[in-house]
Amino acid sequence: MGVRQLFDLTGQVALITGGSRGLGLQMAEALGEMGARLVITARKADELDQARAHLQALGHEVHTVVNDLQQIDRIPGLVSQVIEQAGPIDILVNNAGATWGCKAEDHPDAAWHKVMDLNINAPFFLTREVGKRCMIPRGQGNIIVTASVAGLKGTPPGMHTIAYNTSKAAAIHFARTLASEWGPYGIRVNALCPGFFPTRLANGLIDQLGDALVARTPLRRLGGDEDLKGAVVFLASDASRHVTGQALVVDGGASVI
């Protein structure tokens, strides 16, 4: 197989949660460009409509499903809708997430549960459903978890994101553990660990710490609109067919300092 073929995703169904904006939309663009049939899901119908129009203008096949992943009981119905619209899921990108800024001693209970529900509980229950219904029976599948460099270390001075960091560390180990369990089924599981990218989730911290973040990054810049595309295509395609249980860091080198 030639190298170009290794990256080809033609005809594969890719479900991207939180795919209507930010990093999720960037990854959807990349997977669609390589031929995947896209299904994006998010809570807000208007944002999904805008994302669908954007992706269709790029020439990609795309379906949308409005869904709130914090409502765990709706996950089986979400998977059923995806299968009905596009077919069995080949690639699952668990990207939807939340954060909350607060000192640990003052952290609200509800905020802790919200972050954990969206960042680790929902990906587990969704992955379990997709695995049982789409991947294990066919002996193939590819799961990508959007973790973060925040899951690799503590927080710099001025940041108070204990729930987020904890959940992203759990996401990395979730990928490692599931990779070992589901490898015999022909299913690969990897974590993608972005650094700071200008997104709605991160903009508050970037506004507060932007110059310091850039100064601590060897490449002297934050992530941009193209910087996750190659990484997600690599992990989603046969180009990484002997890679599983890994955490791929995309942060301009910030985590090595």
For 56-88, write each residue's pLDDT tens digit.
Answer: 999 999 999 999 999 999 999 999 999 999 999
Tell me, what's the pLDDT at 215?
79
Tell me, what's the pLDDT at 206?
58
Residue 197 CA to residue 110 CA, distance in Å, equals: 26
Three-state secondary-structure class, residue 107? coil
Q: Where are the domains of the chain?
A: 3-248
Containing 182, the helix (H) or strand (E) segment is helix 162-182
CA distance to 66, 75, 100, 101, 161, per residue, from 113 (Å): 22, 18, 10, 13, 13
How many residues are present in the chain?
Answer: 257
- Would you say 93 and 82 are in contact if contact means Cβ atoms under 8 Å apart? no
With a cut of 50, which residues of the chain have pLDDT below it? Answer: none
Residue 211 CA to residue 215 CA, distance in Å, equals: 6
Strand order in the sheet with 247-250: 62-66, 37-42, 13-17, 91-94, 141-146, 187-194, 247-250
Percent of the chain's residues with pLDDT above 70: 94
Q: Which residues of 184-216 are buried (b: 16+ CB within 10 A; e: fewer)?
A: eeebbbbbbbbbbbebebbeebbeebeeebbeb
- Would you say 178 and 92 are in contact if contact means Cβ atoms under 8 Å apart? no
Tell me, what's the pLDDT at 207?
56
The alpha carbon of residue 151 and the mean position of all alpha carbons in its chain are separated, in whole angstroms, by 14
Active site residue 185: no
Residue 108: burial class (beta carbons within 10 Å; 0-12, 13-18, 19+)? exposed
Tell me, what's the pLDDT at 209?
58
User: Model-level pTM greater than 0.85?
Assistant: yes
- Would you say 61 and 32 are in contact if contact means Cβ atoms under 8 Å apart? yes
Tell me, what's the pLDDT at 213?
76
Fold that domain 3-248 belongs to in CATH: Rossmann fold (3.40.50)
Tell me, what's the pLDDT at 89?
98
Tell me, what's the pLDDT at 199?
63
The one catalytic residue among 34, 131, 164, 245: 164
Tell me, what's the pLDDT at 219?
87
